[in-house]
Amino acid sequence: MDFSNRSTQQTQSAHSGTPLGTSTPTRPAGKDSKRRFDSKWWRVGAVALLFCITVLIAAVVALLAIGGPSENKFVNDSKYQAVFLTNGQVYFGHIKDINSSYIDLTNIYYLQSSSSDTSAASPSTANNNVTLIKLGCELHKPYDQMLINVSQVSFWENIQSDGQVGAGIAKLPKCTQATGTTSQSNTTPTNTNTTKP
């Protein structure tokens, strides 16, 4: 009998904590290290994905806070702009600023119909009754600036100086006030066509 071998087995089993006569299952070294490797990359990938999502959310919030692309780059500072409102009114002036809340318009002119009922008139006579008015020449003397709510604006556009409105603005004299009433020097017809049907 070989007692030396038995004592060696008992010593090994006492150190390993497994009962005598049972063998410890051995795992191949490659699979265990591969699992640890896969688990490590899974954690790194998850952290990287969370970081990317956080950066994307921060970028969207910043873009919304700033207001996105600005319309200000389309304003031609050397020209007048026409701002068309949803109620049909049109104002001409210089757009100083456009943001998500309002359009800041200065040096303002608007059209006023001299007849009370232009819907019954023919198109050629209706155009003859339109007068260009400078804001600030009215009896209540408003300041020459408007903040127009963007929800009330259909669209705006740059206008050319050689059009009827641009030429009318260039010919329009400065507004002068007579005692309590506006003088007629602040208006000019925008259409001088006098032919009638």
- Unique residue bearing structure tokens 């943001």: 99
Q: Could you tell me the CA-to-CA distances from 119 to 89, 113, 129 in Å, in that order?
A: 15, 11, 12
Q: Residues 62, 149: one domain?
A: no
Does a structural domain hold residue 196? no
Q: Residues 86, 178: one domain?
A: yes
Q: Residues 59, 131: one domain?
A: no
Report residue 101 CA to chain centroid gap. Answer: 10
Q: For the segment 117-158, what is each residue's pLDDT rounded down to a tens digit?
A: 544 444 444 456 888 889 888 888 888 999 999 999 999 999
Q: Residues 75, 151: one domain?
A: yes
Q: Which of 111, 106, 102 is nearest to 147 (CA)?
A: 102
Q: Residues 154, 64: one domain?
A: no
**42: pLDDT confidence band, cut at 50, 70 and 90?**
confident
Q: Which residues form the domain of 181?
A: 71-189
- Count the Cβ atoms, other than its own, within 10 Å of residue 188: 19
